Structure 1
Amino acid sequence: MSSCGGLRMVRRFLLVLTLVSVTSISFSASASMRCGTQLIDEGDLIADVLRKCGQPAQREVIPAASTTATDKKFNAVNVENWIYGPSNGVYQYLRFIDGKLVQIRSGRG
């Protein structure tokens, strides 16, 4: 094999490796949670989660910051933190921003 052919092969290998790396980085993993036979995922709306999982054991609502009693501050959001469980000692912690599920995490106690 000539050095030119070997160099070409190395370049192809590096190109393929780079493409695989970039592709795998661009796919973000999203969490999901099982509610009986239903599954909820990050991105679901509050109404869908309530329909599939029912009322949480705890629900904390943090309203958007406001400048007056009726006006929200620019870019202010409503946040809700929900807790389901315990189920076998594990709690499920859900966070919603403006009615959309953005985080699911699990933990003990």
Structure 2
Amino acid sequence: MFRKSLLLSGLSLLMFTGVASATMRCGTALVSLGDTASVVREKCGAPDRSEDQNPVARVNGVPKLNAVKVSFWVYGPRNGASQHLKFIEDKLVAIDTRRD
């Protein structure tokens, strides 16, 4: 019985950890995975650093099949941590907090 309770507690903690990394607070606003770049910019302002990787193109300039635009934004450091955001085709797909 104790093992089962411990296992359920551990699984609950893992689920909570996954949810916590799927959002980022900007003042009183929250941004979440799936938000667009314009929504994030509206809620958090311009990033401190950003980098865009345009889709890989063929020799004639036409993007290769399944090539996508990827953008990386960084907010911070603030209070010893930076928020690293990854967008694919202007949709937020990853939020990573890194201690500096």
TM (norm. structure 2) is 0.77
SS of corresponding position for 2:38 = helix
- Pairing 1:65–2:56 present: yes
2:76 maps to 85
- Pairing 1:49–2:63 present: no
Higher Rg:
1
SS of corresponding position for 1:50 = helix
Question: Number of matched residues?
Answer: 84
1:102 maps to 93
TM (norm. structure 1) is 0.71
Q: Which runs of 5+ in 2 are unaligned?
A: 1-14
CA distance in 1, matches of 2:32, 2:60: 34
After superposition, the C-alpha distances for 1:9-52 in whole angstroms (9 at most, x for unaligned) are: xxxxxxxxxxxxxxxx9xx7461000001000000000000000
Q: Which runs of 5+ in 1 are unaligned?
A: 1-24
SS of corresponding position for 1:104 = strand
- In the TM superposition, structure 1's runs of 4+ consecutive aligned residues that sit over 6 Å from their partners are none
